[in-house]
Structure 1
Amino acid sequence: LPVPLCAAVLVFGGCAGPQTDSEREAFASLRHAFPEAKMHRLHDGVVYAVASTTAPTRVHILAIDLTQPDIVVRPVLGHDRVDGGAAARETIVSMARRTNAIALINGDYFSDEMNVEALTVADGHVLYAPDPPKRSSIVIGDDGAIRIGRFGRDLPPSARWQAVGGGPKLMEGGAFRWDSSIPQLINGEDFPKVPPGRWDGRHPLTAYCETNRPKMLLLVAIDGRRKDVSIGMNPWELGQLLASLGCKEAMRMDGGGSTGMTVNGKLKTLAPEGFPDGRPIGISLGVFRRQTHVSP
């Protein structure tokens, strides 16, 4: 990070500290990036942390060990619909409470007609697949394998994949990239509605990454647009953060007023003005206890 870290804030109480090797490793990795951060264990293989920098910038992180057998990560659509426009969008708090999610983070961009704009798969069911794919998605297998890139329908037919779109891809093999020099493209991905340079400044941001430890997923939400609490990050500051967390592959998701994270049905990120439960969005990615997860 470009600024030194200050004291972190613990915003969730409950379980004790790390109990498994993966949890201890996750705690150590987060501690390395945020020396004074306080972390908490939400469930076997699920760790939550929140910390502040002196910018100030506040960062929320979920670390999820996808090898844990009783954890499933899957998309949650606004009112369980792919299309429907504004009427189909839903706040992240509403999504979390109706699905009993351990934690939830916002996902793909949405349009006037659709809740999603890139590949969307729930339990192996392809719900939306642009052809050709113009933006990145994160694809997660039932075995915990993670892929980030531009994918169509060519997923293994026997696997119960989950996928949420977003973009652009930010890291590959641990190397960060941000190129917005070509109109309507960012890192070669299609963003025709984004004015040149619009995303080069500081904003609330959301990013997903796989760390150097295979099958360890990090979900990151950065508060912004509040000078007294958090001013957000620009893409290069986000890249430094992801590198410090040990991210190998990473992608940006919808940000700005859409950025949001819940823990046990409570909004942990800053609420946009006028939206105490978060801005209505099209899709999120949720963390669930497998026994309470119901397939569509």
Structure 2
Amino acid sequence: MSSSLPQSNAVSKKKKKPVRKRKKKSFLRTLSRLFLILILLLIAGGSWLYFAPSAHNLRYLIADTLITTQHRYMAKYIIGEDELKDRVKEYNERFVHMGDEKDTHTIVQPPVEVEKPLVEIEEVSGTGYSGYVMTVNDPTKVRLGVPGKIGSGEKVSSMVSRTGAIAGVNGGGFADPNWKGNGFKPIGLVISQGKLFYNGLGGKKSTQIVGLDKQGKMIAGNYSLNELSDLGVQEAVSFQPRLIVNGKGLIKNAAEGWGIAPRTAMGQRDDGALLFVVIDGRQPGYSIGANLYDVQQIMLKHGAVIAANLDGGSSTVLVKDNEIVNKPSSQYGERYLPTAFLVFEHPEQADITNIWEGLDPAKIDAGKKRTH
């Protein structure tokens, strides 16, 4: 019997090997089937996305979202190159017309019953997005901040700290070649403390602006330099589109909302309080972003009678008490920007000088390496 034991073990070992091989083959077959199913699903999903009428809105949502990023060119793989050009042209034309209606809103100062804090911040959220609404209860306390050194933009947190502001939000756009701009060449106009700091219109007679007049009334829409002067505009940047005029939302639905992205916008209630909406984006699991219709609806819900879009994307940032409140989407953190709306307890003491004085806008290198 003792001589039979080793033989029995040998037989046992020989029987186990085919079992392992069968399990391995079974696993490979299952993996192959899953891979095939995945390929078929991708083909089916791609066919639906590109050819099904029911996928039209989703197709353009993806394209519009790509248009708002540095990967705009990729939108042509979703809707085609010709359609991409037409889409961008259509939006630009629509945005211009959204600034044409004359704004007639007035500020009615309510009787002061309870003294409110100058700045209040609340969280907002919706489908796919999270962000903040900053209310500035005295609009005359806002000034437009600009960089402190020639040759480079400046982070909003730095502007806030350097000028002694209590809060700040990014402002207008800037030339940004290959999304590597230094933030020093604004797009359009920059007006601060009633003075024209920068004129990059290049012969254009008018531009879409977002700003404030001497009484703290918000001015937004399409205006010429002479009109801005007649209106007594004190603080302003160029940007578009206007979202609300005379208490009426201008964007009909989400399909016209220009994709999903981080957003910044400015609005005003009829009691004069300014509303800054800051929506984070491009961060799955936290906030993907919002379209302009979402921002418009947030503004309307908070009582805005006028509102306009500001520079968004990776520029979107909200600073309060020298702390960044939101989560900027840029992998490098805050961007260097040319302008920011800053809130001061004592704006008359703010030291904001014209950093572009004497410079020719046409000769400013937008992509030159930052000096600080």
Q: Confirm or deny a common fold (TM above 0.5).
A: yes
* Distance across 1 between alignment mates of 2:122 and 2:217: 23
* Distance apart, 1:64 and its partner CA: 1.4
| Counterpart check, 1:279 vs 2:335 | yes
Q: Among residues 207, 219, 229, which one is paired with 2:265 in the alignment?
A: 207
Q: Corresponding residue for 2:165?
A: 101
* Distance across 2 between alignment mates of 1:23 and 1:248: 23
Percent of residue pairs identical: 24
| Counterpart check, 1:289 vs 2:345 | yes
* Distance across 1 between alignment mates of 2:319 and 2:281: 16
Tell me which amino acid in the other structure corresponds to 1:89: G
With structure 1 as the length reference, what TM-score do the two structures score? 0.69
| Counterpart check, 1:121 vs 2:177 | no
Q: Among residues 88, 111, 120, which one is paired with 1:47 in the alignment?
A: 120
Q: Among residues 169, 175, 182, which one is paired with 1:111 in the alignment?
A: 175
* Distance across 2 between alignment mates of 1:89 and 1:245: 32
SS at match of 2:223: coil
Of Structure 1 and Structure 2, which has the larger fraction of its residues in helix? Answer: 2
The superposition leaves residues 68-115 of structure 1 with CA deviations (integer Å, 9 ceiling, x where unpaired) of xxx52111113355xx4xxx1222211211112111000111005853
Q: Among residues 141, 161, 168, which one is paired with 1:72 in the alignment?
A: 141
Tell me which amino acid in the other structure corresponds to 2:250: R
The superposition leaves residues 188-233 of structure 1 with CA deviations (integer Å, 9 ceiling, x where unpaired) of xxxxxxxxx99722110000111233x2211111111112211211
| Distance of aligned partners of 1:230 and 1:139 in 2 relative to their CA distance in 1, 3 Å threshold | same
Q: Corresponding residue for 1:36?
A: none
Of Structure 1 and Structure 2, which has the larger fraction of its residues in strand? Answer: 1
Q: Corresponding residue for 1:58?
A: 130
Q: Corresponding residue for 1:246?
A: 303
Q: Corresponding residue for 1:29?
A: none
* Distance across 2 between alignment mates of 1:22 and 1:232: 35
Tell me which amino acid in the other structure corresponds to 2:124: A
Structure 1, gaps ≥5 residues long: 1-19, 25-40, 180-196
Q: Corresponding residue for 1:221?
A: 278
| Distance of aligned partners of 1:144 and 1:65 in 2 relative to their CA distance in 1, 3 Å threshold | same
Q: Corresponding residue for 1:140?
A: 212
The superposition leaves residues 242-268 of structure 1 with CA deviations (integer Å, 9 ceiling, x where unpaired) of 211111111111111111110011111
Tell me which amino acid in the other structure corresponds to 1:257: S
Q: Corresponding residue for 1:163?
A: 236
| Distance of aligned partners of 1:22 and 1:239 in 2 relative to their CA distance in 1, 3 Å threshold | farther
* Distance across 1 between alignment mates of 2:208 and 2:273: 19
* Distance apart, 1:120 and its partner CA: 1.4
* Distance across 2 between alignment mates of 1:176 and 1:135: 21
Tell me which amino acid in the other structure corresponds to 1:146: M
8 Å CA contact 1:136, 1:251 repeated in 2: no
8 Å CA contact 2:154, 2:338 repeated in 1: yes
* Distance across 2 between alignment mates of 1:237 and 1:160: 28
| Counterpart check, 1:91 vs 2:138 | no
| Distance of aligned partners of 1:21 and 1:227 in 2 relative to their CA distance in 1, 3 Å threshold | farther
8 Å CA contact 1:91, 1:280 repeated in 2: yes
* Distance across 2 between alignment mates of 1:273 and 1:147: 30
With structure 2 as the length reference, what TM-score do the two structures score? 0.56
| Distance of aligned partners of 1:158 and 1:212 in 2 relative to their CA distance in 1, 3 Å threshold | closer
Q: Among residues 214, 225, 242, which one is paired with 1:153 in the alignment?
A: 225
8 Å CA contact 2:206, 2:225 repeated in 1: no
Q: How many pairs does the alignment contain?
A: 231
Alignment of 1:175-214 (within 5 A): 175-178=248-251, 200-213=258-271
* Distance apart, 1:142 and its partner CA: 2.8
